[in-house]
Amino acid sequence: MLQSLRLSTVATEMQLASLEDSFEKGKKSKVGATSRAIPASVMKRKQNPVLAPRIAQPVRLSKRLRGLAAPSLEIGENDNMLQGEERAARNDRSRSRGSEADGNADGDSDSEIDRINLMSGDLYFDKETREKAIRVDGHYKGWLHPDLIEKYGFEKTSEEAWEANGGGSFSFGDPLGQTEQSSAFRSKFKKPKHDAKMVSKASFKKNPNAFFYRHNEPGQEQWMGDWTQEESELFLKVAREHGCGDKWGLFSSHIPHRVGYQCSNHYRQVVLPEGLVFDPNYKYTSTGSPVYCGKYNKRR
């Protein structure tokens, strides 16, 4: 029995030795096949690759460094930049419109138009529009509607209304003129921040222009949306009689159901673009959009 075990052990060792020999032979055969698969020329190219010649790239210089003048830019409609042909085309349109308009009140020449790119109403609109337009100086010279003065007991002038209701020095930081009442008030409201609608509501008798800029007559409904033909005609009637361009709160007291800022918007969005009123504080672009060119915060 021991002899049979020895024989089986020897046979197993012989089988393992033969398997190891076959594994080594197979490994060597694979390595040889791999080395034979790659040609010598390919191996040589891999060891000594041929690089393509490098081409020198030109150095890019700005126009300033090259001594060239930079193109001029210009801001056009809708904050777009006009350049070259676009600007020339727009200037041509301005010149053609200027040659059609006779009787230019401002005496603007083509060179001045090219320089500022804005036109007066006399230069922009045709002869028929110029003859029908209401001409104002940009200021409202009237007072409140007489019916409101009688109904609520307003003073006869803005100065009298201000002084009769407390007086004080007006400023945009203190629209009610209250900072001079006491030193305690001045220290407490050194840098006041006001709610515009609340301040205007408190200015009913003292500063009616501020009140009617944001409010209707007490108890009266405010109309929104587009203006009717009757309202537009009433607007032009008031402008013809008292002028327009500022003090829109007082102006709106003559137009029921409309407040001051609505009159101001109607003026800039409808009246001026249609050439119904000529205001020297406004000039026009080549597309007919009115642009304010007057002085800001100038009180009269």
pLDDT digit of tens for each residue in the chain (300 aa)? 545 555 556 566 676 666 666 666 665 555 454 455 667 666 666 666 666 677 666 666 666 666 776 666 555 555 554 445 555 555 555 555 545 444 444 444 444 444 467 899 999 999 999 999 999 999 999 999 999 999 999 999 999 998 988 877 766 566 656 555 444 444 444 445 556 667 777 788 899 999 999 999 999 999 999 999 999 999 999 999 999 999 999 999 999 999 999 999 999 999 999 999 999 999 999 889 999 998 865 555
Pairing of strands 81-82, 134-135: unpaired
The terminus-to-terminus CA distance of the chain in angstroms comes to 135
3-state secondary structure (DSSP) of residue 151: helix
> What is the rounded CA–CA span in Å between residue 167 and residue 176?
9
220-240 b/e with 16+ CB inside 10 Å = b?
eeebeeebeeebbebbeebbe
Inter-residue contact 210 to 249 (CB < 8 Å) = yes
Q: What pTM was computed for the model?
A: 0.56
